[in-house]
């Protein structure tokens, strides 16, 4: 299982990396939407954890581009964001996003969501919103 972590904030990226280190996953990291797309195409990631507020190409647009590309469209994209508003959640899902993890990060929630994908339980622990 290869998880692509997309987060421009170093504190949050370190925290997510430390949480994912508790699981048997390989971690790749991107700090921008453009880098996320490049890495997703090159690395065959199995899951993408996507911050929505990114410099330049934001997480919404990066998700839309990933989902519209046959090479990456199958990769689940879970937003990791403080955007707790219904409108932002809908906007992410309409961009093709698969689920949602709220900031501030809850260790157990992150583990549950990632384990769900590791075990093929897509959707469990997520807020699929559809
Ligand atoms: Mn950010």
At residue 9, does pLDDT exceed 80? yes
Q: How confident is the model at residue 83 (pLDDT cuts 50, 70, 90)?
A: low
Pair of tokens at residue 41: 């195409």
Determine the distance separating the centroid of ligand 1 and the alpha carbon of 129, expressed in angstroms: 22
Q: How confident is the model at residue 82 (pLDDT cuts 50, 70, 90)?
A: confident
Determine the distance separating the centroid of ligand 1 and the alpha carbon of 8, expressed in angstroms: 5
Q: How confident is the model at residue 124 (pLDDT cuts 50, 70, 90)?
A: very low
Determine the distance separating the centroid of ligand 1 and the alpha carbon of 75, expressed in angstroms: 21
pLDDT reported for residue 130: 36
What's the whole-number average pLDDT of the chain?
Answer: 90
d(CA 93, CA 47): 16
Phi, psi dihedral angles at 93 (to 5 degrees): -65, -35
3-state secondary structure the chain: CEEEEECCCHHHHHHHHHHHCCCCCEEEEECCHHHHHHHHHHHCCCEEEECCCCCCCCHHHHHHHHHHCCCCCCCCEEEEECCCCHHHHHHHHHCCCCEEEECCCCHHHHHHHHHHHHCCCCCCCCCCCC
Residues bordering ligand 1, an ion, CB closer than 5 Å: 8-9, 51, 53
Residue of 54 and 102 predicted with greater confidence: 54
pLDDT reported for residue 15: 96
Q: How confident is the model at residue 59 (pLDDT cuts 50, 70, 90)?
A: very high
Instruction: Decide: 5 and 29 in contact? Cβ < 8 Å.
Output: yes
At residue 125, does pLDDT exceed 50? no
pLDDT reported for residue 128: 45
């Amino acid at each position: 299982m290869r998880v692509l972590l997309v987060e421009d904030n170093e504190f949050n990226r370190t925290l997510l990396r430390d949480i994912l280190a508790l699981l048997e996953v390989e971690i790749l990291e991107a700090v921008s939407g453009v880098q996320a797309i490049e890495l997703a195409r090159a690395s065959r990631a199995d899951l993408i954890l996507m911050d929505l507020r990114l410099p330049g190409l934001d997480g919404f647009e990066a998700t839309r581009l990933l989902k519209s590309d046959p090479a990456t469209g199958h990769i689940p994209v879970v937003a990791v964001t403080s955007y707790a508003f219904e409108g932002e959640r809908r906007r992410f899902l309409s961009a093709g996003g698969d689920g949602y993890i709220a900031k501030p990060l809850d260790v157990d929630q992150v583990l549950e969501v990632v384990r769900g994908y590791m075990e093929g339980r897509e959707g469990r622990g997520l807020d699929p919103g559809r």
